[in-house]
Amino acid sequence: MKLSIIPAHSKGASDFSDSREGIFWILNYMAIALVVFLMIASVFTLFIYSFPAFKSFGLKLFFGNEWDPENSIFGGFPFIVGTLITSFIALLICIPFSLSLSLFMGQYYPDGRISKFLRNAVDLLASIPSVIYGFWGLLILAPCIQSIEMKYDILPYGVGIFTASLLLSVMIIPYASSLGSTIIKMVPKEIKEAAIALGATPFETVRYIVIPKAFSGILAGIFLSFARALGETMAVTMVIGNANRIPESIFSPGNTLASLIANEFTEATGNQYVSALIAMAFILLIISSVFNIAGKLIIMKWSDNK
């Protein structure tokens, strides 16, 4: 008869390991539940406090053009338009610069000193507080825009939709370029070398191999940047002009949902006024959620087609 000698402490060690794993999963599920709870609580709180405004004003909160708290008139359409215009223009300005940075850091010079310097610079840009960007925009960017407007016989506001969009584009470039360069760097080196071995030029390799393979990640970075632009508050508040009307042009002063809330929430008097501002926050949440969901669906559909 063969005897199997098992150390006395083996069973205890196994039980200890199982208990640690059980504790890990319990903490994991608790963290997930906490995140879900906070998300539901945030949406529920915004809905409850904005419900009186939706009940009183209905669709005027979405499509009304006039915002006059003294006469209890609350129309959020100018702010919705201002939010979307500034974000879209910022995204259009951001895309070529972020894509160029992504290709430079992820494809052409992934491990060079210049690439490391750019990565550090991009990380630094992402960590700068938005109020610092706002001061820079107000003291440096706005006067430059004003001088250009005077040169071309445009009303020289200096501040306005275009100034805010330009400032926003600088703020969101780090998010798109950082994620894009990481995804581009993950494209298998063998595929790129095979394309070059078959006679493809570096440009053709990037166009037909690198970008198609990394496109879902690049697109995800773009949508992440757009979501960042939609919710930006302080920097936009300082340079957009804070005019509660639909902008006549991209050089005119305007306002966004976030900057409206930042400007007026502390001065809001009366339940209707406060509820209307919270309703603007709820509308901003809806807009952000719609674009986030749409972005994920586009990325999923593109990935499935590939």
Q: Residue 174: which CATH number?
A: 1.10.3720.10
Token look-up 């593109």 returns 302
- Percent of all residues in the chain with a pLDDT value above 90, rounded to a whole number: 63
Q: Does residue 189 form part of some domain?
A: yes
Distance CA 247, CA 197 (A): 54
Distance CA 118, CA 120 (A): 5
Q: Does residue 28 form part of some domain?
A: no
What DSSP letter does each residue of 65-98 carry, written as one string? --EEGGGTEE--HHHHHHHHHHHHHHHHHHHHHH
Q: Does residue 124 form part of some domain?
A: yes
- Domain total for the chain? 1
- At 3-26, the pLDDT tens digits run 444 444 455 555 656 788 888 889
Residue 81 Cα distances to 30, 75, 87, 100, 270, angstroms = 40, 12, 10, 29, 26
Average pLDDT on 81-105 reads 94
SS3 of 247-291: CCCCCCCECCHHHHHHHHHHHCCCHHHHHHHHHHHHHHHHHHHHH
Asked if residue 82 has pLDDT above 60, the reply is yes
- At 204-254, the pLDDT tens digits run 999 999 999 998 889 888 988 998 899 899 999 999 999 999 999 999 999
* Vertex 141: Cα angle to 137 and 143 (nearest 5): 120
Q: Does residue 290 form part of some domain?
A: yes
pTM, two decimals, is 0.88
Domain holding 182, by residue range, is: 70-305
Q: What is the mean pLDDT of the chain?
A: 89
Token pair listed for 281: 């926050």
Q: Does residue 116 form part of some domain?
A: yes
| Max Cα–Cα distance, the chain, nearest Å | 103
Average pLDDT on 159-182 reads 93
67-98 b/e with 16+ CB inside 10 Å = b? bebeeeebbbbbbbbbbebbbebbbebbbeeb
In the prediction, which pLDDT does 109 show?
86
Q: Does residue 37 form part of some domain?
A: no
In the prediction, which pLDDT does 304 show?
66
Side chain identity at residue 175, one-letter code: Y
Q: Between 300 and 273, where is the model more confident?
A: 273
Q: Does residue 205 form part of some domain?
A: yes
Token pair listed for 225: 């940047």
* Vertex 203: Cα angle to 198 and 207 (nearest 5): 90
Length of the chain counted residue by residue: 306
Q: Does residue 122 form part of some domain?
A: yes
